[in-house]
C-alpha cells in the first residue's frame, strides 16, 4: 500500500472515530408528542392520552366527521362504556366518560350514521406503579418508543478506538516513508 493510500485510510478512520465521539457527546433531546391532539381541535383526540382510573376524559372527533345534527354512536373498546352524541354545526362530536378501572390501552370509537368511524387512543395507568402500561401493539396508546441510550460508553470507546487506529496508520505511513531510500514513497 502506498503512503498516500495509507494516509487516506488513516484520515477516513480518524474522521469516522471523531464523528462517533461527537455523537456520543451530543445529548438526545426529547420532543413533545403531537399525538393525540387536545379535544376541541380540528382533528380527533382526547383530553388526556394517559389517564388514571376514574379520571374524566373527553374524546373528540375533530371537525367534519359527520354532517351537522347526525347521530354518532360511541364505544370504548374493552369496556362496557357506550353512548350516543350528536354532531354539532362543524361536524364535531364529543363524548365525556370516566376512565376504566383496569390499566391498559383503550380506544374511543365514534361511528357516524353512514358507517364511517374514527378512533382515538388513550392509556390507563396502574395506580400502584403510577407508570404507563406498555404498548400492546393494538394501534397506539402506549408509551412513546425509546429513542436514545442511557449509556454512551460503547459509542465513545468505538470512537476512541477508530481515532487510535487512524493515528496508528498515520505513524506507520510516516515510518515507512522514512525507511524508503531517499525518503520518498
Q: Report CA 24 to chain centroid distance, whole Å.
A: 20
CATH class of the domain defined by 45-125? mainly beta
What is the rounded CA–CA span in Å between residue 26 and residue 29? 9
* pLDDT classification of 16: cutoffs 50, 70, 90: low
Question: Is 29 strand, coil or helix?
Answer: coil
C-alpha grid cell for residue 42?
A: 380540528
* pLDDT above 50 for 35: no
Domain regions of the chain by residue span? 3-27+149-183, 45-125
Q: Give the total residue count for the chain.
A: 185
Positive/negative CA dihedral, 127, 132, 137, 138: positive
pLDDT over 90, % of the chain: 26
Looking at the whole model, is its pTM more than 0.75? no
CA atoms within 13 A on the CB side of 7: 8
**pLDDT tens digits, one per residue of 75-96:** 999 999 999 999 999 889 999 9
Beta strands 50-52; 56-60: pairing state = unpaired
The mean of the pLDDT values for the chain is: 75
* pLDDT above 50 for 137: no
What is the rounded CA–CA span in Å between residue 92 and residue 120? 14
The reported pLDDT for the residue numbered 160 is: 81
Residues 67-105 as b/e (b if ≥16 CB within 10 A, e otherwise) read eeebebbbbbbebebeeebebeeebbbbbebebbeebbb
19-28, 61-70, 103-112: which has the highest mean pLDDT? Answer: 103-112
Amino acid at each position: 500500500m502506498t503512503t498516500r493510500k495509507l494516509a487516506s485510510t488513516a484520515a477516513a478512520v480518524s474522521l469516522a472515530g471523531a464523528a462517533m465521539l461527537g455523537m456520543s457527546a451530543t445529548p438526545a433531546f426529547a420532543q413533545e408528542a403531537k399525538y393525540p391532539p387536545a379535544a376541541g381541535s380540528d382533528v380527533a383526540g382526547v383530553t388526556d392520552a394517559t389517564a388514571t382510573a376514574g379520571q374524566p376524559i373527553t374524546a373528540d372527533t375533530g371537525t367534519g366527521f359527520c354532517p351537522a345534527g347526525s347521530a354518532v354512536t360511541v364505544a370504548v373498546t374493552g369496556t362496557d362504556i357506550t353512548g350516543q352524541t350528536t354532531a354539532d354545526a362543524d361536524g364535531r362530536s364529543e363524548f365525556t366518560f370516566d376512565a376504566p378501572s383496569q390499566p391498559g390501552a383503550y380506544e374511543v370509537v365514534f361511528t357516524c350514521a353512514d358507517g364511517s368511524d374514527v378512533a382515538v387512543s388513550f392509556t390507563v395507568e396502574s395506580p400502584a406503579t403510577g407508570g404507563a402500561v406498555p404498548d400492546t401493539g393494538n394501534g397506539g396508546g402506549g408509551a412513546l418508543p425509546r429513542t436514545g441510550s442511557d449509556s454512551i460508553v460503547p459509542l465513545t470507546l468505538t470512537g476512541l478506538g477508530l481515532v487510535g487506529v487512524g493515528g496508528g496508520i498515520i505513524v506507520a505511513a510516516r515510518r515507512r516513508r522514512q525507511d524508503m531510500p531517499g525518503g520518498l514513497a
